[in-house]
DNA sequence: ATAGATGCAAACCCTTTGCACATTA
DNA sequence: TAATGTGCAAAGGGTTTGCATCTAT
């Protein structure tokens, strides 16, 4: 796993000089979690150590943004806040206007929609900001809001596993149906084999999930961090729908190919977004698996087409 | 249709006094489209007329926000912008960092997801901000970006009709399938009748759409303003999927009820959000229609249950 | 030696405010 | 006349900058 130091080292821009003060600022900044206003960082640094001027801190923040170490965010407070990018994927925010706390979440569905919309408008998106302003659970109840810890690796792994499991289930259903509906003996066998594989993987994933929860029984009580619906399992669900409306063997294989391709792409892309972590691992492993299925289906489709082309002559 | 003057009149807070200068500011502000920074408004007012002080303009902007006439938005520029709420539903933004233009869009899908996420986190949302930063089509091509006009009523009507048509199509498919699958004679007839109605409405909507496009042939060239996918037609699509996997008559009716309820709710809620306009009209008419179907299905379901309760005795 | 980093204070931008004066109900 | 709106200038918060001074390479 990459350390914070390596992370900074790697991003340090060429031509820049090493400076003790800047290092201090960066290190203190990276130690924090959440969204720091410049002034809060000034306080932290005053407390910690040196006589570092406000200007240097502002300049270092700008430097970190340029280097990709930090991100400047605007919660509409009339000042900017900064969050670091180290082990911290792009995300969205729920912002409580009462206690001023902010809560992060991911949503592959919303990301997919944003991409579609940008595409439709021929807009090339660089960065998206989604902030939901309102009142958090604690403030609604009039309770003293407790500081929520930032989402951990384990939490991310939990949600990654949930997505993978849901997708696997949906894939299993797809292949089971496909096997039942396919007439071609060889095609049927392929679908059966894939269904069996999905079943097996499903078992593996569920075991892994239970293990994770066992290691931290509190884990399941945490609210969802990574939201998903359509983007992952919707791919197979749509395929199943088409299947069930009636298709021939060739179409069934094509639908399977489309599903696996979509699924592979989703898991690969999503996995690549994250820093080293169990969740990333899960996504990438899953992507590989889908890739194998995809290859198998493509081979099978080619074979079927060949046999069909040869077939009529014999008839 | 409500005029801008009535709009302000209606929202003018009690206890406030009429003031010529404030009126001037409000009128000039409402004449603009897009997102004005306070300073830009000051310029506009300087040019137009009076010797009105900066402070008054700031105070009036605050007054408009409190009254619900304007909305303060933050594009992360370090200053606020204001957009008026008159004939201007809640929307999201694509913001070009090159030409600094911003483009609006609606997405019922994203709104639905936001609500789900807030719900899951027990967060009570008041306002959501979604900004996609990047580069617009013109700037990507190195062209001089042309000022895009704000979406018109006709554009909104076009997209409302597209959603209604897509939903209608999906409903038609659902009822056609349901009619084919239903064994109970009376139930079959109900589904057939609904399918016929959907067919007829579909014709009406398509005629209306053609009319709209005929009135303004440019209309179809405009990019999508109201994005939708799941929220509207996905409701029936999911129903069809269930149907096709095999259900009995009673379940079929229940699925129909669920679909119509979802669809009714969606169109009603979405329609209610807008100022008087053809698009609003379309949504509300559609909601009414779905309501009728819903009632019919519920009556039919009750009847079926009764007959089934009576049936076994006769057997 | 020289480009780059730092400190200090002043400048900056956008916005709000105190206070005297003008207006409206 | 009492409450509200306006103008002016000053203050305010957050951020950036000019310039002299250091400090790494």
| Contact residues for A45 (Cβ-Cβ < 8 A; gap 6+) | A24, A25, A28, A52, A57
Closest-lying nucleotide for A18 based on CA to C1': D24
Q: Which of B121, B140, B142 to mutate to test the interface with A (most CBs of A within 10 A)?
A: B121
Read off the pLDDT of each residue in B63-73 and give the average, rounded to a whole number: 92
- Which sequence spans correspond to the domains of chain A? 1-86, 87-147, 152-314
C-alpha pair distances (Å), A147 with each of A136, A247, B25, B123, B307? 12, 54, 44, 15, 58
Closest-lying nucleotide for B74 based on CA to C1': C14
Q: pLDDT band for position A315 (50/70/90)?
A: very low
Interface of A with B in 78-97 (CB under 8 A): 80, 94, 96-97
- What's residue B181's pLDDT? 87
Residue of chain A nearest B121, judged by CA positions: A223
> Which tens digits make up the pLDDT trace of B92-118?
999 998 888 889 999 999 999 999 999
Read off the pLDDT of each residue in A169-194 and give the average, rounded to a whole number: 89
Residue of chain A nearest B173, judged by CA positions: A245
| Contact residues for B17 (Cβ-Cβ < 8 A; gap 6+) | none
Residue A27 and residue A5: Cα distance in Å, rounded? 8
Task: Provide the residue count of chain B.
Answer: 315
**Architecture per CATH, B152-314:** Up-down Bundle (1.20)
Lowest mean pLDDT among A146-150, A252-256, B127-131: A146-150
Q: Does A180 touch chain B (CB under 8 A)?
A: no
Mean pLDDT estimate for chain B:
88
- What's residue A110's pLDDT? 94
Element housing B72 (H / E): strand B70-74
Q: Which residue has the higher pLDDT, A100 or B171?
A: B171
Lowest mean pLDDT among A15-19, A140-144, B17-21, B282-286: A15-19
Q: pLDDT band for position B138 (50/70/90)?
A: very high
The answer to whether the Cβ–Cβ distance between A114 and B118 falls below 8 Å is no
C-alpha pair distances (Å), A278 with each of A266, A283, B49? 17, 9, 64
Residue B144: left (phi > 0), alpha (psi -120 to 50), or beta? beta
Residue of chain A nearest B116, judged by CA positions: A227
Residue B194 and residue B33: Cα distance in Å, rounded? 43
- Min Cα separation B243/chain A (Å): 10
CB contacts < 8 A (A, B): 149
Residue A88 pLDDT > 80, yes or no?
yes
Residue A256 and residue A263: Cα distance in Å, rounded? 10
Residue A60 pLDDT > 70, yes or no?
yes
Q: Is B184 helix (H, G, I), strand (E, B) or coil?
A: coil
Read off the pLDDT of each residue in A265-289 and give the average, rounded to a whole number: 90
Provide the positions of strand C that have an atom within 7 A of a protein CB.
Answer: 3-9, 13-18, 23-25
Q: Which residue has the higher pLDDT, A138 or A9?
A: A138
Query: Could you identify the residue whose CA is nearest to the C1' atom of nucleotide C9?
Result: A55
Q: pLDDT band for position A304 (50/70/90)?
A: confident
Contacts of B94 in chain A (CB under 8 A): 117-118, 121, 123, 125
Strand D contacting residues by CB (7 Å)? A 17-20, 37-39, 54-55, 58-59, 61-62, 78-80; B 15-17, 19-22, 50-56, 59-60, 63, 78
**Architecture per CATH, A1-86:** Orthogonal Bundle (1.10)
- What's residue B313's pLDDT? 53
CATH number assigned to the domain covering A87-147: 3.30.1490.190
Lowest mean pLDDT among A220-224, A298-302, B182-186, B263-267: B182-186
- What's residue B315's pLDDT? 42
Closest-lying nucleotide for A77 based on CA to C1': D14
- What's residue A200's pLDDT? 93
Residue A295 and residue A291: Cα distance in Å, rounded? 6
> Which tens digits make up the pLDDT trace of A20-59?
899 999 999 999 988 999 999 999 999 887 789 999 999 9
Residue B219: which of B149, B117, B314 has the closest Cα?
B149
Read off the pLDDT of each residue in B245-257 and give the average, rounded to a whole number: 87
> Which tens digits make up the pLDDT trace of B207-247?
999 999 999 999 999 999 999 886 555 678 888 878 877 78
Closest-lying nucleotide for B59 based on CA to C1': C16
Residue B107 and residue B115: Cα distance in Å, rounded? 13
Q: pLDDT band for position B307 (50/70/90)?
A: confident
Residue B14 pLDDT > 80, yes or no?
no
Mean pLDDT estimate for chain A:
88
Supply angle C-alpha A288, A244, A175, rounded to 5. 30
- What's residue B231's pLDDT? 54
Strand C contacting residues by CB (7 Å)? A 15-17, 19-22, 50-56, 59-60, 78; B 17-20, 37-39, 54-55, 58-59, 62, 78-80
């Amino acid at each position: 796993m990459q350390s914070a130091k390596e992370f900074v080292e790697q991003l340090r821009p060429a031509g820049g000089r090493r400076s003790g003060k800047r290092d201090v600022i960066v290190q203190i900044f990276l130690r924090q979690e959440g969204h720091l206003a410049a002034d809060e960082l000034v306080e932290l640094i005053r407390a910690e150590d040196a006589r570092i001027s406000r200007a240097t801190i502002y300049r270092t923040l700008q430097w970190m943004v340029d280097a990709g170490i930090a991100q400047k965010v605007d919660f509409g407070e009339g000042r900017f806040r900064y969050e670091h990018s180290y082990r911290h994927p792009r995300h969205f925010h729920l912002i409580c206007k009462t206690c001023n706390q902010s809560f992060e979440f991911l949503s592959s569905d919303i990301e997919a929609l944003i991409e579609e919309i940008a595409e439709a408008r021929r807009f090339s998106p660089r960065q998206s900001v989604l902030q939901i302003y309102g009142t958090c659970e604690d403030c609604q109840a009039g309770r003293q809001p407790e500081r929520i810890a930032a989402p951990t690796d384990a939490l991310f792994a939990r949600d990654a596993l949930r997505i993978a499991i849901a997708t696997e289930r949906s894939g299993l259903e797809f292949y089971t149906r496909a096997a039942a509906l396919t007439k071609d003996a060889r095609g049927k066998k392929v679908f059966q084999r894939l269904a069996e594989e999905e079943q097996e993987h499903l078992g593996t994933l569920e075991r892994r999930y239970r293990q994770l929860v066992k290691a931290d029984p509190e884990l399941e009580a945490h609210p969802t961090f990574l939201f998903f619906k359509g983007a992952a399992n919707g791919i197979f669900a749509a395929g199943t729908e088409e299947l069930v409306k009636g298709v021939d063997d060739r179409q069934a294989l094509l639908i399977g190919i489309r599903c696996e391709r979509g699924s592979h792409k989703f898991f690969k892309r999503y996995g690549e977004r994250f820093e080293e972590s169990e969740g990333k691992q899960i996504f990438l492993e899953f992507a590989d698996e889908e890739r194998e299925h995809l290859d198998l289906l493509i081979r099978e489709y080619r074979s079927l087409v060949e046999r069909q082309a040869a077939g009529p002559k014999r008839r």
